Amino acid sequence: MSILYAVLVLGALGAVFGALLAFASKIFHVEVDPKQAAVRECLAGANCGGCGYPGCDGYAAAVAKGEAPCNKCVASGPEAAAKIAEIMGVAADAAEKKVAFVPCSGCNNVAEMRFNYTGPEDCRAAMLFGGKSNKLCTFACIGMGNCAKACKFDAMHVVKGVAKVDRSKCVGCGACVDACPKDIVQLIPEKQRTMVACRNQDKGAQVMKICKTGCIGCMKCQRECPADAIHVENFVAKIDTSKCTQCGHCALVCPRHIITTFKA
């Protein structure tokens, strides 16, 4: 009988609490804009933050209120933007696709090391020892993979001590940019296929001592660029993407072979 009473009491308590929860759900129910739910269905669900809002739910709510454009979800792409625009009854503006780029060629076999780091696989932790980097080049990628860990699309990997981007997987969300404590990772237009894989601003003689592939500011690329799209600034070559014609000539003449040309 004691077991029966216990079962009856638990059953009664369950019924009472269930009724209370049902009553509370009606009292505290918050109406959700149907448009918000429809927009949320169009999103990738990665919650990457590339849109600038706190997750997909936050962005969907902003769009439904008319506080955000329809094309901010870079992970979903232009097709999702078109669907969202249709839901909101507005015209879909095409957003320029961007991808991440790491301007560093200082792999383990070419960059001189400041010290051999054996601590946690974390760029911020490595920066606590020796100042700015575990490599003599203070502009170099540390290579502990904070960016790769932040990427939810498996588009970033550390190869021989330097972060590399898989452009076929990158959606341009910018999570890797935010995760890099040295502000090395950049977002560039996907259509830009020629980039300088170095950002060292030391003079050429110093660069040659610490990295076998660093830019030495020789200006050969600048002199031979037919579009006047590349110039040496602060001892490092930089490309003006608005002028670059993607001819790839600068990559061919670079004596340090650090100008990268990606396949279309």
Q: CATH number, domain at 138?
A: 3.30.70.20
- In this predicted structure, what is the pLDDT of residue 74? 83
122-151 average pLDDT score: 88
Which of 166, 148, 162 lies closest to 106, judged by CA? 162
Q: Do 145 and 183 belong together in one domain? A: yes
Q: Do 185 and 248 fall within a single domain? A: no
Whether the predicted pLDDT of 29 surpasses 70:
no
Q: Higher-confidence residue: 82 or 195?
A: 195
Task: Sort strands 98-101 and 194-196 into parallel, antiparallel or unpaired.
Answer: unpaired
* 31 — pLDDT class (breaks 50, 70, 90): low
Residue 202: give the domain boundaries. Answer: 192-264
Asked if the structure places residue 137 within a domain, the reply is yes
Residue 68 binned pLDDT confidence (cut-offs 50, 70, 90): confident
- Is 184 in the same domain as 236? no
CA distance 131 to 127: 5
What's the pLDDT score for residue 30?
54
Q: Report pLDDT for 133.
A: 75
Domain boundary among 67, 88, 109: 88
Provide the pLDDT confidence category of residue 94 given band limits of 50, 70 and 90.
Answer: low
Residues 113 and 182 in one domain: yes
Last residue of a domain, one of 158, 190, 222: 190
**Last residue of one domain, picked from the residues 71, 88, 105:** 88
Same domain as 197, residue 184: no
Q: Do the domain assignments include residue 59?
A: yes
Cα-trace Rg, the chain: 26
pLDDT at 224 over 60: yes
Q: What percent of the chain has pLDDT over 90?
A: 51
Based on the structure, what is the number of domains in the chain?
Answer: 3
Residues 222 and 198: their CA atoms lie apart, in Å, by: 15
Percent of the chain past pLDDT 70, that is, above it, reads: 90
Same domain? 56 vs 105: no
Higher-scoring residue by pLDDT: 129, 116? 116
What counts of helices (H) and strands (E) characterise the chain? 10, 8
**Does residue 170 form part of some domain?**
yes
Query: Does any domain span residue 6?
Result: no
Cα–Cα distance for residue pair 50/59, rounded to 1 Å: 10
Q: How does the average pLDDT of the chain come out, rounded? A: 88
Q: What is the pTM of this model?
A: 0.77
Same-domain check for residues 106 and 82: no
Strand (E) positions, 23-107? 98-101
Are 144 and 186 contained in the same domain?
yes
Cα gap 142→235, rounded to integer Å: 21
Residues 112 and 78 in one domain: no
Residue 138 lies in a domain: yes
pLDDT for 12 beyond 80: no
Q: Give mean pLDDT, residues 127-140.
A: 82
Q: Within a domain: residue 222? A: yes
Q: What is the mean pLDDT of residues 6-16?
A: 73
Q: Is residue 18 in some structural domain?
A: no
